[in-house]
């Protein structure tokens, strides 16, 4: 059995129920985070925007997904507003606390709510910063650590997508 079986059942930022199977035929580029994140998510999402831009037409084969680790605050509406404004290539996914936790478990994602005095609601959710790539069947293909820059991720994606 593979070490990572990326299964999820969530709502997209239009409020539609989705699973990994709904994107069959596309490679899924998955990043976990939360819209109140001030440092990691803006940096990593911007990097992935650059990657997708650099891929050119190949990017059409990729469905970028941003899965919330803070479903209490990240409703579909909140995610849609955030992504359409800042990262329009991405589709946001969120859900119930249980469904979001199940998705995190499936991807082995770390996320723990902790106190953050600088946050308006007083908390943040530090989380794993890996970017996952699922193949056209929705199976885990590889992942990219945040130490990799956009150029290296782009080069690796080109190899995998072509």
Partner 1 sequence: MTTLVDRPGTGRPGAGSAAPRLTAEQAGHLRHIDNLSRLPRGDWRHMAGPLPMQEDFNAYRYQLGYMSLALALAHYHRLPAAPVVFHDTLDRLIQRMLEPDVWTYWRDTSTQGGFGPIDLPQLPSRTDPVAVDNIMYSAYLQMMTLLFTMLFDDRRYEQPDSLTFAFRPILFGRDRRDSFAYDQRTLNERIYWNMVRNGYLGVACEPFCVFQICNQIPILGFRLHDHLYGGQTAEEVMEGYRRAWSQFGDGVGPDGHFAKFVVQRNDLLPTDLLIDQGSAWTDAWLGMLLNMWRPELVRDTYRDKLENWIDPTPEGTIAVRNLALPPGAEGLAEPGLHSEFGWVAGWASEMGDRATLEGLFRHADTVMNPQWDKGGLYYPRHDATYDTAGRFASMTPTVSNAMLPYARLNVEDGLRTLFQRPWTDRDRQRPALTGRDDDVDVLRAVYDDEKDHLALSVAPRHGLTTVAATLTISRVAPRPWTLLVDGEPVARSEDAATDAGRGIGVRRTPDTLTVSLPLEGVRDVDVQWRR
Report the interface residues with partner 1, using CB under 8 A: 3-4, 105, 108-110, 112, 126, 128, 130, 145, 147-148
- Compute the least distance from the CB of residue 145 to partner 1, in Å: 4
Nearer Cβ to partner 1 (5/24): 5
- Compute the least distance from the CB of residue 150 to partner 1, in Å: 16
- Compute the least distance from the CB of residue 130 to partner 1, in Å: 7
Contacts of 1 (CB under 8 A, 6+ apart): none
| Dist CA 51 CA 146 (whole Å) | 13
| Dist CA 130 CA 110 (whole Å) | 10
Length of the chain: 162
Nearer Cβ to partner 1 (22/146): 146
Nearer Cβ to partner 1 (105/151): 105
Q: Which helix (H) or strand (E) holds 33?
A: strand 27-33
- CB-CB neighbours of 15 under 10 Å: 11
Nearer Cβ to partner 1 (16/152): 152
- Compute the least distance from the CB of residue 50 to partner 1, in Å: 20
Determine contact, residues 103/10, Cβ cutoff 8 Å: yes
């Amino acid at each position: 059995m593979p070490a990572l079986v990326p299964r999820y059942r969530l709502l997209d930022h239009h409020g539609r129920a989705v699973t990994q199977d709904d994107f069959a035929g596309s490679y899924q580029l998955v990043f976990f985070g939360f819209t109140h994140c001030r440092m990691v998510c803006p940096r990593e999402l911007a990097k992935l925007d650059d990657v997708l831009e650099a891929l050119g037409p190949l990017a059409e084969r990729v469905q970028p997904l941003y899965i919330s680790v803070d479903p209490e605050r990240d409703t579909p509406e909140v995610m849609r507003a955030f992504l359409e404004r800042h990262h329009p290539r991405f589709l946001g996914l969120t859900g119930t606390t249980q469904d979001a936790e199940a998705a995190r478990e499936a991807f082995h994602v770390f996320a723990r709510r902790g106190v953050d005095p600088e946050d308006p609601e007083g908390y943040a959710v530090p989380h794993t910063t890996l970017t996952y790539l699922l193949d056209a069947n929705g199976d885990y293909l590889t992942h990219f650590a945040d130490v990799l820059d956009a150029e290296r991720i782009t080069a690796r994606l080109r190899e995998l997508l072509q």
